[in-house]
Amino acid sequence: MTSILSNSFTLGPDERGHFGPYGGRFVAETLMPLVLSVEKAFDEAQADPVFQAELTRYLTHFVGRPSPLYFAERLTADCGGAKIYFKREDLNHTGAHKVNNCIGQILLAKRMGKTRIIAETGAGQHGVATATVCALFGLPCIVYMGATDIARQQPNVFRMKLLGAEVRPVTSGAATLKDAMNEAMRDWVANVTDTYYLIGTVAGPHPYPKMVRDFQKIIGEEAKVQMQAMEGRLPDSLYAAVGGGSNSIGLFYPFLDEPSVKIVGVEAAGRGIASGEHAAPLSHGRSGVLHGSRTYLMQSDDGQITEAYSISAGLDYPGVGPEHSWLKDAGRIEFVSVTDDEALDAFHRTTRHEGIIPALESSHAIAQALKVAGDLPRDHIMLVSLSGRGDKDVDTVAKAMGAEL
């Protein structure tokens, strides 16, 4: 059924939103007309130079793009092998890659005449980015957040409130990100006429996985040009953390058809895969349908969704973008997983050696790079997505160290 016929990895999804067997539009009938209208509006916006110019203007002057490409010299020396570069999405306004997508979608929501914005958030980074763009455009913003996450991410909750958003605690299920997404969908069904659902990752029904990817692919496009300027060639390998998968696909997508570039996605192994407490559906899950698309999921033998766990709240999701599932099966991306302890170690090493406090999400990608860099030749170039800054995580890290703040 798929129309991805060529040997390119960049042509998906097909017109029905399928990446091979993954993706699609598995939503309630009430939402279908709305999902179709988002797709139509997005396609039109993509082809509209006025929309693109406005997007570029906000990305340049509000977000602060392009984000720098940075040679992590001391970490490189410490590992004694491959050259390690960071793509510094942590330097964006609001401190992570999330805002790239939020700016794009809020412009789309405005274009569609929607007057009310809803979003889900786990760690609060997407919630903060959404609240930020809603403040920028004067639109009311409701953020659904699991009660468990609210308790462990208080600074971000307060940030959203400062920005004028209403944070609605979700107590259903396990009260984390997947439940927040369920609740946002329930809101959307009840408010289809005026509400735009601003999804934070490459999940959800078509066109969201494609749309969010297209708003995030600027990460890889910039990095490609920057690497050319600094090293005169492509990197040899890419590393990015994979939760829902938006920073990773953003970095990877422009390199998918460069066969010399090895691409590695890093999932959260939490307390260790054997413990069952992890967030690694691609490495240890199987195909299923949740939140509007077919993709790899963490689930029981009976098809019940199981709870994900990671020290990093942003990776704590039992699903993943459908395009990742397809690229895994196609063998184009290698997926590995990194434990809480390995991520924490990378967090400390990056902080001490580079003077950069990385987000715990990004620390997973760095951990994998540090693990292998020493065994690679000195002319091997690694490019790591430093997707966000770690200021939001200092409480969590202090707790892990047994330190009092």
Partner 1 sequence: MTNSLENNRLTRRFDALKAANRAALVVYVTASDPDAETSAALLAGLPGAGADIIELGMPFTDPMADGPAIQKAALRALASGACMDRTLDLVRDFRKTDAETPIVLMGYYNPIDSYGTARFAADAAQAGVDGVIVVDVPPEEADELQPILLSQGVAFICLATPTSDDARLEKILKYAGGFLYYVSILGITGTATAAADAVDVAVQRLKRHTNLPVAVGFGIKTPENAAAVARVADAAVVGSAVIDRLAAALDAKGRATPDLLPKVLAFVADLAKGVHMARNA
293 is catalytic: no
The rounded distance, in Å, linking the Cα atoms of 26 and 114 is 23
- Residue 387 known to be catalytic: yes
Answer yes or no: are the C-beta atoms of 220 and 253 closer than 8 Å: yes
10 Å CB burial of residue 79 (0-12, 13-18, 19+) is buried
Q: Which of 283, 310, 363, 387 is catalytic?
A: 387
CA distance 130 to 133: 5
Tokens of 229: 């300027």
Which one among 50, 190, 403, 405 touches partner 1, defined by CB under 8 A? 190
Residue 170 contacts partner 1 per CB under 8 A: no
Contact pattern for partner 1 over residues 130 through 169, marking x by CB under 8 A:
----------------------------------------
Near partner 1 by CB under 8 A, which window of 18-26, 104-112, 122-130, 393-401? 18-26
Q: Is 120 one of the annotated active-site residues of the chain?
A: yes
191 binds partner 1, rule: CB under 8 A: yes
Shortest Cβ 162–partner 1 spacing (Å): 30
46 vs 191, beta carbon nearer partner 1: 191
Interface positions, 293-322, toward partner 1 (CB under 8 A)? 294, 297, 299, 301-305
Task: Please work out the total of residues on this chain that contact partner 1, with binding judged by CB under 8 A.
Answer: 38
267: which DSSP letter? E
Burial of 277 (0-12, 13-18, 19+ CB in 10 A): middle
Scan for tokens 């050319």, then name that residue: 228
Binding of residue 276 to partner 1 (CB under 8 A):
no
Choose, by CB under 8 A, the member of 207, 270, 281, 292 that binds partner 1.
292
- Considering the candidates 39, 120, 222, 342, report the single residue annotated as catalytic: 120
Residues 174, 93: Cα–Cα separation, whole Å: 31
16 or 352, CB closer to partner 1?
A: 16
Residues 358-377 binding partner 1 (CB under 8 A) are none
Nearer to partner 1, 66 or 285 (CB): 285
Q: Which amino acid is it at 280?
A: A
Q: Give 188-243 as a DSSP string.
A: HHHTTTTEEE---SS-SSTTHHHHHHHHHTHHHHHHHHHHHHHHSS--SEEEEE-S
Among 28-36, 40-48, 57-65, 342-350, the segment contacting partner 1 (CB under 8 A): 28-36
| Cβ atoms of 293 and 204 closer than 8 Å | yes
Structure tokens at 354: 């580079």
Torsion of CA 57, 63, 66, 72, to 10 degrees: 180
Among candidate residues 98, 114, 210, 328, the one labeled active-site is 98
- Binding of residue 209 to partner 1 (CB under 8 A): no
Give the side-chain half-sphere CA count within 13 A for 229.
Answer: 10
Separation of alpha carbons 326 and 20, rounded Å: 6
* 288 near partner 1 (CB under 8 A): yes
Segment interacting with partner 1, rule: CB under 8 A, options 81-89, 122-130, 237-245, 286-294: 286-294
The C-alpha angle 355, 362, 232, rounded to 5 degrees, equals 75
Taking CB under 8 A as the criterion, the residue among 189, 230, 372, 400 binding partner 1 is 189
2 binds partner 1 (CB under 8 A): no
Pick from 30, 56, 228, 260 the residue near partner 1 by CB under 8 A: 30
Q: Quick one: which of 27, 45, 143, 238 contacts partner 1 (CB under 8 A)?
A: 27
**Between residues 191 and 351, which has the closer beta carbon with respect to partner 1?**
191
Q: Give the angle 334-339-341 at the CA atoms, nearest 5°.
A: 145
Q: How far is the CB of 281 from partner 1 (least distance, A)?
A: 13
Q: Is the dihedral of CA 349, 351, 356, 362 positive or negative?
A: positive
Q: Does 112 bind partner 1 (CB under 8 A)?
A: no
Which residues are the active-site residues?
98, 120, 387
Q: Which residues bind partner 1 (CB under 8 A)?
A: 16, 24-34, 172-173, 178-179, 182, 185-186, 189-193, 287-292, 294, 297, 299, 301-305
